[in-house]
Amino acid sequence: MVIQKGAQAPDFKLMGHDDKEYTLSEFAGKRNVVLAFYPLDFSPVCSNEHSCFVNDFEQFRDLSAQVFGISVDSKWAHKAFARQLKIDYPLLADFHPRGDVAKKYGLYLDDKGITARATVIVDKRGKVADVQVMEIPQQRQNSSIIKVLEALK
């Protein structure tokens, strides 16, 4: 079952494409967090989405939000993807055990072996402020994410 609004967001520790380990709990009391779960690096929709995050990055920063991309790809695939799209925010490798973090959020698609396309916004208290799940070929809209973040100010 997909995690629900108001639930305590499960903590995690994942390696970023920048060779740093990140935990959700390190942002508690400091920043809201946008967890952008996506199926795979280099797929057409994912490439478009991440380009949009890059283009709107200043807005997310101005709203005191930390953006993370999360997929089952390895950090090496993330490095190449980030380099190609000039991504500055961390892409986290939910690689081993495969999809472990996505499973905690109810967003791992066992039958496909990938992560669902979804956005989970976690507020500074560590609570889920919003969950948006899209169909795999449907691109998320940054405007709806920004609207939620503005309400959390």
Chain segment 86-96, per-residue pLDDT in tens: 898 999 999 99
- The better pLDDT of the pair 8, 153 is held by 8
16-30 pLDDT tens trace: 999 999 999 999 999
Mean pLDDT across the chain: 93
pTM of the model: 0.95
Residue 52: the pLDDT is 67
Structural domains of the chain, ranges and CATH numbers in brackets: 28-151 (3.40.30.10)
Choose among 89, 118, 90, 123: nearest CA to 104: 118
Q: What is the pLDDT of residues 59-69, one digit of tens each?
A: 999 999 999 99
Q: Which helix (H) or strand (E) holds 81?
A: helix 75-85
From 34, 46, 116, 149, active-site residue: 46
46: annotated active-site residue: yes
